[in-house]
Structure 1
Amino acid sequence: NPGLADAPLSLQIAVNSPPKTTIKTTGATVVMTAIVKVMLLPPGQAPFQLSSMTMETKFNAKVSIRGKRLAIHADLRRFKIFSNLSALESLALIPLQAPLKAILQMSVVPLINNWTKKGVRIPLADGMDFVEEVVEYHNGFIVIGANLQFTKGLREIMEGSEQEQTHTV
């Protein structure tokens, strides 16, 4: 319908299964599969689905300790998109894979990394910090280690903890 040529498009991405993580001595990878729907949004009419595709992505994940937080940095390694409807439509999507991968690398991956760089807080008392952090990848697990550095004396830390307990009681 030529009247719908100026209608806005909507791209809907929904992960259809939990990401699969693999940890090997070479590093950690995360594979994610999602359904991508291209919708036409004609004004005053119900949305119309133009296409439905499956997107497969593979990320390398680098784990690090940043201060008192455990952070992850993702790097897009593989991107593949194919049609759920027909093999012919999948062939037509091949030229779109490189530009879509570039868009993901320039927009979506930085958003993910901005979110994950905040990391997860590692409970550590005030006056204690990590130094000489080490992250080792093994088959099936990651070893994260560091030395503790005391910026306060142990007695000061204990006294501070006792004062906090008496104030909360």
Structure 2
Amino acid sequence: MEDSVKAAEEITQQCLQHSDVNWLLNRAAHGLREAMDAEANAHGTSIRGQIVLSALAQNLGRPYSQLALGHALGVDKTTMTALLDKLERSGLVVRTPDPHDRRARIPVLTEAGRELQAKLYVQLKAVEEHSLAPLSPDEREVLRSLLRRIIPMQHIEGSCM
């Protein structure tokens, strides 16, 4: 077993020495996602649930329909329904009828959902800061700036979660 772990570490080191941006971005994202998901789980939700809560919290003036929310987050209807079902069972979201389309539902944060989203936002920023601790504050901003530049603004099929 120890030999296989050592071999995996060698492969990882070889990959890190190469310029495979896809591998590097995915490894960095995987580590950050695991740390954030552990923090969210400690508060009774998941990182996906927190992303949904944050999207709803940021969109107070123009509520999303369930379908539009899924589209905005790059999540298919089935996955969005399951996420909202969990959030609703936890008392964090309620779904109200859309006054413009009787078939559609509008997810709305409850007070408990708003409180959890705000609390978790702070906790997850701390997780992010810990993950980025090897970088200086200037390097962190450069990283964010570079990532914003390569992320396309138009909708891309596929999940951001």
Q: TM-score range by the shorter chain?
A: under 0.3
Larger strand proportion of the pair? 1
What is the TM-score with the length of structure 1 in the denominator?
0.25
Per chain length, whose mean CA-contact separation is higher, i.e. which structure has more relative contact order (CA < 8 Å, sep 6+)? 2
What is the TM-score with the length of structure 2 in the denominator?
0.26
Q: Which has the larger radius of gyration?
A: 1
